[in-house]
Structure 1
Amino acid sequence: MVGFLVSLLSLALGPGASAARAEGGDPAAGSTPHPVYVGSTVCAGCHDAEAKAWRSSHHARAWMAPSEDTVDGDFSGVAFEKDGRTTRFFREGGDFVIETEDFAGGRRAFKVEGVGGVAPLQQYLLETEPGRLQSFDVVWDQQKKRWYHLYPDQKLTPKDGLHWSGPYKTWNARCAECHATGFSKAYDLRTRRYSSSQAEIGVGCEACHGPGAAHVVWARAGKGGQGSLFPGTGDAGLPVRFAKGLPEVEIQQCAGCHSRREPFADGNPLPGAPFHDSYRLALLTPGLYHPDGQILDEVYVYGSFLQSKMYDKGVRCSNCHEPHGGDLRAEGNAVCTQCHSPTGNAEFPSLTARRYDDPSHHFHKPGTAGAQCVSCHMIERIYMGIDGRRDHSFRVPRPDLTETLGTPNACSDCHADKPASWAAAVLKKRFPESAHRGPHYGEVLAGAQRNPSGFDAELLELAGHDGLPGIVRATALDLLAERATPQMAARAAPLIHDADPLVRAAAVSVQRAAQPPDRLRRIAGALEDPVRAVRIAAAREMLGLPVAHLPPRIDRAARSASKEWQAANAAKLDFPETHLVLGGTALAMRNPKAAVAAFREVTRLDPQMVNAWIMQVRILLAVRDMPAAQFALQKGLAANPGDPNLMALKPYFAQ
């Protein structure tokens, strides 16, 4: 099967698709200059105050080596039991050991190889095979000083893809990039092994500021000395510059980890790389967000922040968060009254200067939870059992939408004993002239999600509304792409040239519904878009188009964009989702053998991905390999007993 997969990758990915990270040279030695990491200890030699704040931050302790100082859990021999399987935590010599029955093959003892995070919980990393780290699901509650399971309601066996030993809990694949500095995943499909490396575990100075070797050379030369010896870095030798007038640079740097997204590269992009050149952002899709854009699943801030007026007005992360220690700039409402006060803030002149931290605005007793700005404008949701995170869309409560859409609202979070209609009436009485009532984009998104055949005109109107956040407009286009007609594709075509890259990428996808000549003509320019996410979207839509006699410029652009898409796929060959894409690509290229191999790799990684089993069976039936099709169905049903979609295939094998 691996041979088939290699053949598929040769076909669908092309040569040179693996994502390698070049090692840097030493500028002092005169070798070819490439940025290299020097480590936070070197940075601290000059930047003492910043380093002191950083050492106590969650960033510094995002990933640590196990030791007496870093492991907080109780390893005194205590046991934890769930679903009839026992896990024991103990010490063996200087090691911290987790022995668990919750593993394929039964009881197994693992030495703790890494410590993930510090508060409000701490998770431990176990090496289940050479180079592969898995994040264990029984974690330490720092507040209650107890072991608890992250997913107490799930009853997963080790054969389930979502089990702690499965692909979705592989630290190398899903977590390490945002818990390390200069991380390279280095997954080898042929051996299915990782050779991961990093410049530093934990989020160090260079995770945000970039490799520091050139900066050290610059600093040692003294002010007024020669500029950076490294191409691509600024005069001070760093690849990224956080300037007051460039909030987007900072926001996108933070967003690289604080977002729900699909990476395009093998590990950390070079700090300063634009977000949309490095990732494809998750839109406001069901399961991640409520229809009105409020947080539902763990979406890590950026997608929420893009919906906010604060983002639109140029507010940056460090306006509220001290960047080195990570703490808020002030306590309680004082964070908000930096701007939302009678004096306002000269940096944001459009803001109305008036008293907000006052009962006349929040109509709650000062000092109570109801008087806190975040209670109304940043609802909190609990993830990982105990980790409270706030919605960064900074929205006005809309209990009226709760009545019509079933979405949450801040009022009902506290006043759970009263209906949403009560809260809506109170707000209408308190703020009779408020503009925060009436039509909301969530009504269209919710309607389109419920009714696949309706709301097409409304989705197009949302998509073209340049007064709405780009992520909302892109979501409307994404919903439209699922049911678009050639006429809709024509109406959406101008948005391929929109100012927002999220909108451009989503508009390209709508062209799937267009006739081939129209599709090619419309997306040709997107193949040369300045943003990689848009170019990759265009490359995807080139599949199935007649490309034998393209004009030279379009041909070159198509080949270049295709290579970028290939490289993005090659960087995620340990993801089941990637092999779904490769399987679909192989089908589009009329290569059923390669498609079956890809879908088999999907189900090897995640046996519960039923669609991949179905595709195997259908393709094998189509090529008249009845024994292989029947065997695939049997394996699929063994992994998913009684699944109705798989059971529906059984009549094809009736005698």
Structure 2
Amino acid sequence: MAIAVVFLISGLTAPAIADETNPPQYVGSDTCVSCHSDEVADWQGSHHALAWTKPTAETVAGGFDGRRFTHQGSTTRFLKDGGQYVIETEDAKGGKRRFEVTGVAGIEPLQQYIIETEPGRMQSFDVVWDVEEERWFHLYPDQTLTPDDGLHWSGSYKNWNARCAECHATGFEKNYDPKRDLYQSRQVETGVGCEACHGPAQAHVEWAQTDNRLDGTKWTGTNDIGLLINLPSDGSAEAELRGYLAGTQQRLSRLSNSETQIQQCVGCHSRREPFEGGNPLPGTPFHDAYRLSNLRAGLYHPDGQIEDEVYVYGSFLQSKMYANGVTCTDCHNPHTAEVKLEGNALCGQCHSLAGNPDFPTLALKEYDDPSHTFHVEGSKGAECKSCHMIERTYMGVDGRRDHSFRIPRPDLSLQTQAPNACNDCHSDQTPRWAADAVASWYPDSTKGGPHFSQILAAGRNDLRGQGEALVGLAEYDALPAIVRATALDMLVPLTNPALATRLEPLLSSPEPLIRVAAISIQRGAPETERSARIVGLLGDPVKAVRIAAARGFLGMRIAYMPEKMNHDLNTAMGEWQASLAAKADFPEAQLVLAGIGLTTRRMDVALNAFGEAVEMDPQLTQAWVMMVRIHDALGDRLAAIKTVREALERNPEDVQLNLMRADIGG
């Protein structure tokens, strides 16, 4: 008798997953000062230390002196009242309201303020302070949003507990209760403290206080100095201490050591989907805590350049620097969060006639010279970052640089419409002009050949016509994993038995990003073949892969599974369910739950999840449409009419909803 593999949902309650770990406790950054005074001195006043602070005269930069700011007809006033910083705004549900500022985010180039709209529910206000210009401005000046819109500052997408706090705090726990729609969030330390990167230090403190002796039975996962993570040596006091233990500690290669540090940093410096409701323990591999966003349209240009606010990891993964073991602290002081050297001297640490023995494959040549830059020495055009790290401005005034360190290719702009560094500065010229200039400077260059962007750009416009080319990208193992995974993601709508068979080898890729994406391609395979191909990935060492494999089994009907495989399936399904429960306050997660309900023919689950999604974001018109269709299919015409009317109250101009109302007689 066949059994259905069904995703069990009961009020978004996470399943019990065995946890026998006993990590050390957090002790707070103040505890670190006595031994690590230099590092703490660097950290204090940094963007990390001030990522989230309480509002005081020392931390608030904004003009809370009665100033008014008007946006789209709504006026907001910023003032102090009895020592409290107050935001009084007409742009709130129900009309004019007054909120106390409960938190301060950042220090410069802008500062954002956090208010509590309900007990425990923190929202990031969209009128922010420009530190340099000393003015209030709106982050989204062209948007006209009502308080009923999910993108409004009071909506689910601007909720501090869910969307921001994790990366602005140490030891953060969201603690969202979906039954009561209530947050009881807490953190060990407000701001990014020492233990946000180095991990909870209880065992490390004991190690330091007991003449470097540590009872290894008291905690799980600690190294020889009582920490949960082995960060690369950077000359710090901690690294020196670790050096004393070199005889008992296994030496890792630079590449693997760099990867440990990179994955610790990019937990925050990436565009990703979290699996947990707060900070994973430092040392948790990235792909055990998050699923990285690939080079999707709207996030990245076809050539992989940053477009939306995607932070650093996705672009850095494309770089030759990443492939050769360059790590964050090669360029950045981890405690000040600033670059180690100013100007071209930073790049000259490696890219020079002297080179760098850590990277022996580098060409030894003079780069900081007009013979390479073709710009006047000391000019903006002669700065390495101008050509190799294009800058995009987010949040109105915050310039962020692309970390793919790409060679400018204005010739590709002609084919892909992606921007290029040359025309960023020479905006009065055309890409053809820039391409001709580069060609004249480097007539014998070997850097102007085919590029993956040509295929990705064409595939975005004509997916079916570029199917074979996208398969070629996915199979080409010399490309960065994120590019190959992106090609696989694009191919999912085209998958069929032949394509699933051809790309089956990618299920064994050493890259988690590729294994995750390759699982979706197997949707095109017959069910028995699909299950046989992906069943081994249910026990993959990487959580992102296990969850993807669990998704692949959803709705399958399987006659029999050996006990080990059945155990792996239940465990992976539990991890997926737990990850969705952790994001119960995300409209996106509710849409996934609704899809699960449809796949498993649990229409009650689907209706409930679609309903939760539109409650959080009433502008999700497709969710409204699906609710109307489900009610109609179940024969409940009155519920269908009521739903379409409610949907149109929120979205009166939506064409599809208006057509549905006409069809069902509402």
After TM superposition, the score normalised by the length of structure 1 is: 0.95
Deviations 1:114-163 (A, max 9, x none): 00000100000000000000000000000000000000000101010000
Q: Which residue of 2 aligns with 1:97?
A: 86
2:341 maps to 1:325: no
1:472 aligns with 2:483: yes
Give distance in 1, aligned partners of 2:188 and 2:42. 21
In the alignment, the residues of structure 2 paired with residue 15 and residue 614 of structure 1 have an alpha-carbon distance, to the nearest angstrom, of 27
8 Å contact 1:63–1:179 — kept in the other structure? yes
Tell me the equivalent position of 2:251. none
Preserved CA contact (<8 Å) 1:228 1:237: no
Q: In the alignment, which residue of structure 1 is the partner of 2:15?
A: 17
Could you say if the C-alpha distance between residues 45 and 113 of structure 1 is closer, same or farther in structure 2, counting changes exceeding 3 Å? same
Letter of the 1:11 counterpart = I
- What's the offset of the Cα at 1:323? 0.4
Instruction: Quote the offset at 1:73 in angstroms.
Output: 0.6
1:564 aligns with 2:575: yes
Per the TM alignment, residue 222 of structure 1 is displaced from its structure 2 partner at its CA by 1.3
TM superposition shift of 1:9: 9.1
CA distance in 1, matches of 2:10, 2:101: 39
Cα offset, 1:16, TM superposition: 4.1
Aligned to 1:34: 23
Q: SS where residue 34 of structure 1 aligns?
A: coil
CA deviations on 1:508-534 (whole Å, 9 max, x unpaired) are: 011111110111011111111111101
Partners of 1:86 and 1:12 in 2: CA distance = 44
Tell me, yes or no, if structure 1 residue 402 matches structure 2 residue 418: no
Please give the alpha-carbon distance, in whole angstroms, between the structure 1 residues aligned to 2:206 and 2:530: 51
* Alpha-carbon separation, structure 2, partners of 1:110 and 1:18: 39
Tell me the residue number matched to 1:27.
Answer: none
Q: Provide the secondary structure at the position in 1 that maps to 2:87.
A: strand
Contact 1:412 1:420 in 2 (8 A): yes
* Displacement after TM superposition at 1:553 (Å): 2.0
Q: 2:363 aligns with which of 327, 352, 355?
A: 352
Separation in 1 of the partners of 2:664 and 2:220?
Answer: 63
Hey, what does 1:290 align to over in structure 2? 301
Question: Who is 1:649 aligned against?
Answer: 660
The aligned residue for residue 273 of structure 1 is 284
Change (3 A) 1:75 1:20: farther
For residue 82 of structure 1, the aligned residue among 64, 68, 71 is 71
What is the CA-CA distance between 1:223 and the residue it aligns to? 2.8
Question: Residues of 1 paired with 2:17 and 2:174: CA distance?
Answer: 9
> Could you say if the C-alpha distance between residues 252 and 34 of structure 1 is closer, same or farther in structure 2, counting changes exceeding 3 Å?
closer
Alpha-carbon distance in 1 for matches of 2:222, 2:393: 40
Q: Structure 1 residues 431, 12: closer, same or farther in 2, change over 3 A?
A: farther
Quote the offset at 1:448 in angstroms: 1.2
Q: Which residue of 438, 443, 447 maps to 2:454? A: 443
- Aligned-pair distance for 1:478? 0.2
TM-score calculated relative to the size of structure 2: 0.94
The residue type equivalent to 1:82 in the other structure is H
Which residue in the other structure is 2:188 paired with? 199
Could you tell me which residue of structure 2 aligns to residue 214 of structure 1? 203
Deviations 1:264-297 (A, max 9, x none): 0111000010000000000000110001100000
Amino acid at match of 2:638: P
Determine whether 1:574 maps to 2:585: yes
Q: Who is 1:366 aligned against?
A: 377
**Cα distance per residue 1:339-398 (max 9 Å; x no partner):** 000011000011111111111110100000000000000000000000000000000011
Number of aligned residue pairs: 639
Q: Is the 8 A contact 2:122 2:159 kept in 1?
A: yes
Spell out, residue by residue over 1:90-132, the C-alpha distance to the aligned partner (whole angstroms, 9 max, x if none): 1110100000000000000000000000010000000000000
**Alignment partner of 1:241 out of 209, 225, 230:** 230
CA distance in 1, matches of 2:163, 2:612: 18
Q: Deviations over 1:520-555 (max 9, x none)?
A: 011111111111101100100101211342222221
- In structure 1, C-alpha distance between the alignment counterparts of 2:573 and 2:193, rounded to whole Å: 34
Change (3 A) 1:344 1:521: same
Q: Is there any run of 5+ residues in structure 1 with no aligned partner, and where?
A: 1-7, 23-31
Tell me: CA distance 1:247–1:454, structure 2 relative to 1, closer, same or farther (3 Å).
same
Q: Which amino acid aligns with 1:165?
A: S
Shift of 1:87: 0.4
Amino acid at match of 1:35: P
Residue 345 of structure 2 is aligned to residue 334 of structure 1: yes
- Tell me the distance in 2 between the aligned counterparts of 1:225 and 1:304: 40
Q: Which residue of 2 aligns with 1:156?
A: 145
Q: Indicate if the aligned counterparts of 1:12 and 1:585 stay in contact, CA closer than 8 A.
A: no
Q: How far apart, in 2, do the equivalents of 1:20 and 1:633 lie? A: 44
Q: 1:238 to 1:182 in 2, by over 3 A?
A: same
Contact 2:546 2:572 in 1 (8 A): yes
State the alpha-carbon separation in 2 of the partners of residues 225 and 277 from structure 1.
Answer: 28
- Verify the 8 A CA contact 1:161 1:607 in the aligned structure 2: yes
How far is 1:593 from its partner? 1.3
Maintained 8 Å contact 2:14/2:574: no
SS of residue matched to 2:375: coil
1:545 aligns with 2:545: no
Aligned to 2:162: 173
Report the Cα offset of residue 19 of structure 1.
9.5
Q: Does the CA contact (< 8 Å) of 2:641 and 2:665 recur in 1?
A: no
Provide the secondary structure at the position in 2 that maps to 1:524. helix
> Structure 1 counterpart of 2:114, which letter?
L
Q: 2-side partners of 1:133 and 1:157: how far apart?
A: 18
- Structure 2 CA distance for partners of 1:529 and 1:260, relative to 1, 3 Å: same
One-letter code aligned to 2:484: R
In structure 1, the partner of 2:318 is: 307
Verify the 8 A CA contact 2:207 2:213 in the aligned structure 1: no
TM-superposed CA distance for 1:34, in Å, is 3.4
Counterpart CA distance in 1 for 2:333 and 2:422 is 29
Cα distance in 1 between the residues matched to 2:571 and 2:392:
42
Counterpart residue number, 1:144: 133
What is the percent sequence identity of the aligned residues?
Answer: 54
Q: Is the 8 A contact 2:206 2:214 kept in 1?
A: no
For residues 271-328 of structure 1, what are the alpha-carbon distances to aligned partners after superposition, in whole Å with 9 as ceiling and x for unaligned? 0100000000000001100011000000010000000000000000000000001111
Alignment match, 1:4: none
Q: Corresponding residue for 2:545?
A: 534
Structure 2 vs 1, CA of residues 625 and 400 (structure 1 numbering), >3 Å: closer, same or farther? same
> Structure 1 residues 654 and 14 mapped into 2: Cα distance closer, same or farther (>3 Å)?
closer
Shifted more, 554-563 versus 569-578: the winner is 554-563
Task: Name which of structure 1's ranges 524-533 and 123-132 shifts more when overlaid on structure 2.
Answer: 524-533
Structure 1 residue 21: deviation in Å? 10
Q: Check whether the contact 1:13–1:566 (CA below 8 A) recurs between aligned residues.
A: no
SS of structure 1 residue aligned to 2:399 = strand
Greater Cα shift, 92-101 or 429-438: 429-438
- In 2, are the aligned partners of 1:138 and 1:147 still within 8 Å (CA)? yes
Question: Does structure 1 retain, via aligned residues, the 8 Å contact 2:7–2:596?
Answer: no
TM-aligned CA distance change 1:196 to 1:15, over 3 Å:
closer
Aligned amino acid, residue 52 of structure 1: A
Q: Which runs of 5+ in 2 are unaligned?
A: 1-5, 234-253
The 4+ residue runs of structure 1 with deviation greater than 2 A are: 8-22, 223-229
Partner SS for 2:558: coil
Q: Is the 8 A contact 1:342 1:353 kept in 2?
A: yes
Contact 1:12 1:586 in 2 (8 A): no
After superposition, the Cα gap between the structure-2 partners of 1:142 and 1:309, relative to the gap in structure 1 and judged at 3 Å, is: same
Matched residue, 2:500: 489
- Give distance in 2, aligned partners of 1:410 and 1:429: 17
The question of whether the paired residues in 2 share the 8 Å contact of 1:62 and 1:180 is answered with: yes
After superposition, the Cα gap between the structure-2 partners of 1:227 and 1:550, relative to the gap in structure 1 and judged at 3 Å, is: closer
Q: Compare 11-20 and 491-500 and name the one that shifted more.
A: 11-20
Q: Look up the match of 1:515.
A: 526
Q: Is the 8 A contact 1:259 1:281 kept in 2?
A: yes
Shift of 1:455: 1.0
